[in-house]
Structure 1
Amino acid sequence: MHPRHPEIAPRLLSETDEQRQLRTVLRDLFRETSSPEDVRKHLATPRGYDEALWSRLAGEIGVHGLAVPEEYGGSGFTFAELAVVLEEVGRALCSAPLLPTVVLAAHALLYSGDRAACEQYLPRIADGALTATVAGFGEGFGDGEPIVTAERGSAGWVLRGRADFVLDGAGADVILVRAATPDGPRLFACEPDPGTCRRTPRRVLDETRRQALVEFRGAPATPVGTAEGAEATVSATVDTGRAALAAEQIGGSGHALDATVEFVAQRHQFGRPIGSFQAVKHRLADVLVALEAARSASAYATACAAVAPEQLPVAASAAAVVCSETFRLATAEYVQLHGGIGFTWEHPAHLYVRRARGAEVLFGTADRHRARLAALAGLALESCSV
């Protein structure tokens, strides 16, 4: 029997006035700076995103430090406020590396409990001066042996090995690496140098979320946290990433539905809007129902990340399944109901399709999450019918 977890207060599943105001400010900003044309333009730059927007998000709104404690230069809010940002980021398809920097790396530092590492990196993450990511966390689940090893040399620890498809791996200023040591897996902070760390951008389906192969060749590194707490830190970080990704997927699904509803109200066939046809109404209604279910799953995962971390593993995997499938459905209808124009490169629909397909495998496939949920619930997979 598993001990009963405390219930999440219903008020935590709804937006506060402050969160609603934050959403309004962000949506206005992204409407001004992140049109599909803007996204395409910035994808062609060396960093792959609008660096001026990155600075504005950090300086004018304080996005980067929302979930960072005040003692480390942040605002001291919770993951709930950050989730509002992530949803709007997903809606606008913003390509800035908020997920690897503000979610994964920042939370890995916080979960590690390493005060020195937090003091060194979190203030610069909060003010937008530093980008960061994580590597070697293992197939989206933090499982399996690390493929990067750490050796103690005469001048300190060095890393050897490779980690593939690292989010923002080619551009991050700091990489938090899960590496094998003689005493077991441990977390290290590495500031990549071309002489000891080779970073090769990967060509991926979703160009708005850059990834890279990172090869460590005796790269100097500093231990973060304790060896005993490393695996718990990795697990909590990845689950927080899943909750963050679910919020992004809600934003992307919302955009796809809103854009499609607007289009079918304007497109006419046989003398009337195609949105008045019953078949089209039913398809959009299916997306709306799926989106509301996904919104609930995302809200619960967000609340758990903010105030009930012991419930986050179940909530994060459930949200991953529901939100991934909803985003796939919403983007498929985005393309189909736009007709011929929806299949063109000039239309932004394909960018959202790419984001949906990339996101659904980023932290584990839906099937793996279902298996994980079964294990967390104490169910034998052989007894589960598909």
Structure 2
Amino acid sequence: MTHTPDLLYSDTEDDLRAAVRALLADRAGHRAVLDRVETDRPYVPGVWTSLATDIGAAGLLVPEKLGGQGASHREAAVVLEELGRAVTPVPYLTSAVVATETLLALVEGGAETGTQVVPELLARVASGRTVAVLAVPLSAGPGAEPPSGPSVTGVADAVIADVLLVPRADGLYAVPAAEAEVEPQTPLDLTRPLARVTTPEGSGTRLAGADAARAAVRRGLLAGAGLLASEQLGLAEWCLEETVRHTRERHQFNRPVGSFQALKHRMAQLWLDVVGARAVARAAADALATGSPDAPLTVAVAQAYCSKVAVRAAEECVQLHGGLGMTWEHPAHLALKRAKSDQIALGSAGGHQDAVAALVGLPAPA
């Protein structure tokens, strides 16, 4: 029987959205982010602790018996929508989604016989006390092969990680960040720092063998790609709302510039794109939450669509703000850089389109 996705928001999800939005407005507004983005650590002090611990967002995907909130990907998607709207520099996607899903796969699969390392690590991550990061490039999609060799480039949020989950030829290892060399790199998106991570051979604790590790990493990256669509949705929604607000207030020839037909058409088309992005992002979150067998297909469709919408919305936001949109003081450039970075994060749009073709049996053009 085909599962019909629920695209609507529940009262619980609306309450969670309100709590996260209030926190970010109070502690991590665009001005606070702009003041820190030129540093290697753009994270606004205290925001991650409040989000992860006080609100409990870090443990949304973790069952209560393992120390989490026992919620689902639908609730996590709502958090990511709000983080996308504010372009907030926190390790939510990398730690509370990708790393958490990877560890959950190991727990459910049994991990290494007799070890309690995985459940204990998962409980610390769910509580927000520990930030775990999967040591793969940000660009790695769900079907990507884990990197080989001691060094990995382009690892997102490694500079703030406490524990690195390192895929190796013989399995997956948990390596304390203090035992690794983390060299910051210069990213396009200054709100999501990247780093080269080098871990000595033999360091860390082995969590799983090679086969279990590959399956767990794939599950983590699939969940990350699916929920990244919600971050892109939130970003696109903010860009549209901010552009409508500005063109309503900005006057030329004694008229609001938003009253000019050409701009009306551009914003109307963008609204249609955002509505479509909301549908596919919610479908991906619901498919992950329900364990739908169509989740890989739904995630690939969501990423192929949402990544383009987010970039277009950010570009329109910059252009329709005129000269103001080109300044460093206006947050439009934060949205544009995040959108462009997200466009190749966890698999490119083209890679996800190829995945769609393969999953539905459509041969790619020669």
TM bucket, shorter chain: over 0.9
Inter-partner Cα distance in structure 2 for 1:20 and 1:138: 30
Q: Runs of 5+ in structure 2 lacking a partner? A: none
Inter-partner Cα distance in structure 1 for 2:139 and 2:330: 33
Inter-partner Cα distance in structure 2 for 1:45 and 1:370: 35
Q: 1:344 to 1:295 in 2, by over 3 A?
A: same
Cα distance, 1:9 vs structure 2: 3.3
Aligned-partner SS, 1:55: helix
Matches within 5 A, 1:79-228: 79-113=73-107, 114=111, 116-136=116-136, 140-141=140-141, 143=143, 146-148=146-148, 161-181=150-170, 186-194=171-179, 197-218=180-201, 220-228=203-211
8, 11, 14: which is aligned to 1:14? 8
Q: 1:352 to 1:145 in 2, by over 3 A?
A: closer
Aligned-partner SS, 1:381: coil
Q: 1:223 to 1:295 in 2, by over 3 A?
A: same
Based on CA coordinates, which of the two structures has the bigger radius of gyration? 1
25, 28, 32: which is aligned to 2:19? 25
Cα distance, 1:230 vs structure 2: 2.2
Inter-partner Cα distance in structure 2 for 1:219 and 1:209: 29
Cα distance, 1:226 vs structure 2: 3.8
Cα distance, 1:309 vs structure 2: 4.2
Deviating beyond 6 angstroms after TM superposition, the runs of 4 or more aligned structure 1 residues are: none
Matches within 5 A, 1:366-381: 366-381=349-364
Inter-partner Cα distance in structure 2 for 1:126 and 1:178: 21
Inter-partner Cα distance in structure 1 for 2:155 and 2:81: 22
Deviations 1:95-122 (A, max 9, x none): 0111111011111000122372332212
Q: Is the 8 A contact 2:85 2:236 kept in 1?
A: yes
Cα distance, 1:51 vs structure 2: 3.1
Q: Is the 8 A contact 1:145 1:180 kept in 2?
A: no
Inter-partner Cα distance in structure 1 for 2:33 and 2:139: 28
Inter-partner Cα distance in structure 2 for 1:124 and 1:42: 27
| Partner of residue 297, structure 1 | 280
Cα distance, 1:375 vs structure 2: 1.1
Q: What letter corresponds to residue 192 of structure 1 in structure 2?
A: A
Q: Runs of 5+ in structure 1 lacking a partner? A: 1-5, 150-160
Aligned-partner SS, 1:280: helix
Identity of aligned residues (%): 36
| Partner of residue 217, structure 2 | 234
| Partner of residue 251, structure 2 | 268
Q: What letter corresponds to residue 278 of structure 1 in structure 2?
A: Q
Q: More strand by proportion, 1 or 2?
A: 1
Deviations 1:114-162 (A, max 9, x none): 372332212221222111111237951355654435xxxxxxxxxxx11
Inter-partner Cα distance in structure 2 for 1:137 and 1:344: 30
Cα distance, 1:42 vs structure 2: 3.5
Q: 1:266 to 1:138 in 2, by over 3 A?
A: closer
Q: 1:59 to 1:230 in 2, by over 3 A?
A: closer
Name which structure has the greater RCO, CA cutoff 8 Å, separation 6+. 2
Aligned-partner SS, 1:71: helix
Q: In angstroms, what is the RMSD of aligned CA positions?
A: 1.8
Deviations 1:275-312 (A, max 9, x none): 11111110000110000111111011000110124222
Q: 1:43 to 1:216 in 2, by over 3 A?
A: same
Inter-partner Cα distance in structure 2 for 1:104 and 1:8: 25
Q: Is the 8 A contact 2:38 2:190 kept in 1?
A: no
Inter-partner Cα distance in structure 2 for 1:238 and 1:166: 13
Question: Which range is displaced more, 137-146 or 57-66?
Answer: 137-146
